[in-house]
Structure 1
């Protein structure tokens, strides 16, 4: 008896969630289809009902992760925009984040994406642009800000996390995170 369309969609979502998490934490080369399918408790044979290749899955997982977990750090309705932005920047630029707690694919895959195909690079670019658009809309509620300023700020955040996660020294990583948080607050007039 064939599976229902709903069951197939649920299986696809499980595969995407596992792939997103595993690729983000380990990169493309260090993860296999077998590992992804085992992680989501499905068989390897089921993989090909949803994706034609590991490369396609990588691209789709990047899209999934950046749309399934938009910039949310708590309930936005219960916080002022200024307080929410502070929470966002502090959470993003934290030791927990560089250790892989809710990892951002923009930071965690910044080096990995350079060796991927055009579709993956396009998904990464769209994730970056989407994040900037959402952040800019929030920052503009607090102060005037341009797209170029947002690009600089988000690139600083992403770069800081990318570098801090590669440094095998918590003291230096914490200094880097703290310095970037301070610079962002100065840039955003004390947020």
Structure 2
């Protein structure tokens, strides 16, 4: 790849990362091309060197947000099933994940959009769902699959509600209570690792 082609690829990747963060923070309708390009340090006119349209960028950004597999998931994947599940639950239901939707799990912020979206977005969403189900041992047995589905639904739902309520105490209580119920712990220790599941 020549220098200019490598530069172009790097620039495109930077724009895509910014757009991916913005769709997680504000949904697919909100980010404008000018805003994204400005944050990337580029002019609006350069946009069409990289993407066919705003819709093209936003669709790719959503797919990127759903495809990202954070380092924490890779680390947790090597643990025993019980430790892996507890680690994922604590990380997913941590305050940092709740408070950082731009680097958080796309399942929470893009669920409604995927439900109304085209086939490609639905498939990207489904791949992330299947990835979590596999990580929770959802392929081990029918019972394990049902448990994995319940756990994933509780994680996504609790995070969505915790972000949406106005009362910070209720938001914290939601996260802590659901984590306790899922792990069977008496206390929900705040996980210290960076979130972004």
Deviations 1:55-78 (A, max 9, x none): 222222222233333361685599
Closer/same/farther in 2, CA of residues 182 and 77 from structure 1, 3 Å limit: closer
Rounded to whole Å, the distance in 2 between the matches of 1:54 and 1:114 is 20
Structure 1 residue 9 corresponds to structure 2 residue 3: no
The Cα shift of 1:158 comes to: 0.5
**Is contact 1:58-1:120 (8 Å) kept?**
no
Which position in structure 1 is the counterpart of 2:191? none
Which position in structure 2 is the counterpart of 1:31? 31
Which position in structure 1 is the counterpart of 2:95? 95
Tell me whether 55-64 or 27-36 shows the greater mean CA deviation. Answer: 55-64
Ranges in structure 1 where 5+ consecutive residues have no aligned partner? none
Closer/same/farther in 2, CA of residues 159 and 78 from structure 1, 3 Å limit: closer
Aligned pairs, number: 183
Rounded to whole Å, the distance in 2 between the matches of 1:113 and 1:77 is 26
- The match for 2:184 among 180, 183, 186 is 186
Ranges in structure 2 where 5+ consecutive residues have no aligned partner? 186-197
Rounded to whole Å, the distance in 1 between the matches of 2:90 and 2:11 is 35
The Cα shift of 1:161 comes to: 0.6
Which position in structure 1 is the counterpart of 2:55? 55
Deviations 1:129-187 (A, max 9, x none): 223223327x96xx996223212211110011111110111111111111210121139
Rounded to whole Å, the distance in 1 between the matches of 2:183 and 2:97 is 19
Closer/same/farther in 2, CA of residues 117 and 144 from structure 1, 3 Å limit: closer
The Cα shift of 1:38 comes to: 1.3
**Is contact 1:24-1:105 (8 Å) kept?**
yes
Tell me whether 173-182 or 66-75 shows the greater mean CA deviation. Answer: 66-75
Closer/same/farther in 2, CA of residues 77 and 159 from structure 1, 3 Å limit: closer
The Cα shift of 1:37 comes to: 1.2
Secondary structure at the aligned position of 2:13 is classed as helix
Secondary structure at the aligned position of 2:72 is classed as coil
Q: Quick one: higher RCO (CA 8 Å, sep 6+), 1 or 2?
A: 2
**Is contact 1:23-1:58 (8 Å) kept?**
yes
Structure 1 length as normaliser, TM-score?
0.80
**Is contact 2:98-2:163 (8 Å) kept?**
yes
Which position in structure 2 is the counterpart of 1:117? 118
Rounded to whole Å, the distance in 1 between the matches of 2:17 and 2:183 is 33
Aligned ranges 1:78-93 → 2 under 5 Å:
82-93=82-93
